[in-house]
């Protein structure tokens, strides 16, 4: 969202003839960029969003998550993530380190009993950078995510509705679990 705002402001700068307005717009762009640097818990929020999507896919009909691609389908790559890992040693090791971190977060957020057979993962290289593709198969059992956006313990079930992951509560959670239980009985019969 902030990138879109910045691009809109940059367009206004290119069309503006007023030096005062150009200065104001440039200051506003810098202010927005600075805000982006200081978002509290941004790392946990990003990790949680990716993993809640996996949870939602596993609890419904499966799906594909692309890391390194924006919601508007533009590739930005994982190279900044690689740089943040700071333990990479040599060409090609960045992918291994990222994959290892991803697997560690899956265990942390889903627990040791989460079946790795639900996920198929691979990297693809594009001129804009690497992307990580995670294909999620539907799970017979309901899948809980064990942490919230802050990284604190919290057991939650997410399901996929259209293009978003929805947290289930109350009656909707009860209906979902009953439906999963009914489906698993029908599969075994």
Sign of CA pseudo-dihedral 158, 117, 126, 48? positive
CA–chain centroid gap for 23, Å, is 35
103 backbone dihedrals φ, ψ, rounded to 5°: -60, -40
Residue whose C-alpha is closest to residue 26's, from 42, 10, 37, 48: 10
How confident is the model over 30-70, as pLDDT tens digits? 888 887 666 666 678 889 999 999 999 999 999 999 999 98
What tokens does 78 get?
Answer: 């994982």
Average pLDDT, the chain: 87
* Whole-Å CA distances, 136 to 55, 146, 184: 9, 18, 19
Please tell me the predicted confidence (pLDDT) of residue 145: 95
Cα distance from N-terminal residue to C-terminal residue, the chain: 49
Cα torsion at 163, 70, 1, 30 (round to 10°)? Answer: 170
- Three-state SS string over 55-72 comes to HHHHHCCCEEEEECECCC
Judge whether residue 11 has pLDDT over 80: yes
Cβ neighbours for 91, distance < 8 A, ≥ 6 positions apart: none
Least confident of 31-40, 106-115, 133-142, 144-153: 31-40
Please tell me the predicted confidence (pLDDT) of residue 38: 64
Please tell me the predicted confidence (pLDDT) of residue 155: 92
Question: With bands split at pLDDT 50, 70 and 90, how would you rate the model's confidence at 161?
Answer: confident
How confident is the model over 66-86, as pLDDT tens digits? 999 987 888 989 988 888 776
Cβ neighbours for 65, distance < 8 A, ≥ 6 positions apart: 50, 53, 54, 57, 133, 134, 136
Judge whether residue 89 has pLDDT over 60: no
* Whole-Å CA distances, 173 to 114, 160, 186: 20, 13, 20
Strands 153-156 and 119-126: unpaired
């Amino acid at each position: 969202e902030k990138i879109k705002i910045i691009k809109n402001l940059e367009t206004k700068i290119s069309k503006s003839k007023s030096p005062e307005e150009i200065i104001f717009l440039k200051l506003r762009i810098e202010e927005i960029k600075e805000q982006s640097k200081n978002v509290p818990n941004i790392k946990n929020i990003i990790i949680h969003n990716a993993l809640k999507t996996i949870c939602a896919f596993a609890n419904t009909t499966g799906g594909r998550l692309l890391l390194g691609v924006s919601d508007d389908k533009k590739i930005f790559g994982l190279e900044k993530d690689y740089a943040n890992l700071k333990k990479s040693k040599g060409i090609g090791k960045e992918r291994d380190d990222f994959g290892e971190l991803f697997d560690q977060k899956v265990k942390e957020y889903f627990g040791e009993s989460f079946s790795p057979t639900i996920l198929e993962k691979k990297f693809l290289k594009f001129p804009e950078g690497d992307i990580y593709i995670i294909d999620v198969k539907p799970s017979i059992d309901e899948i809980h995510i064990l942490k919230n956006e802050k990284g604190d313990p919290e057991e939650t079930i997410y399901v996929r509705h259209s293009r978003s992951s929805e947290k289930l509560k109350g009656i909707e959670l009860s209906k979902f679990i009953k439906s999963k239980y009914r489906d698993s009985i029908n599969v075994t019969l």
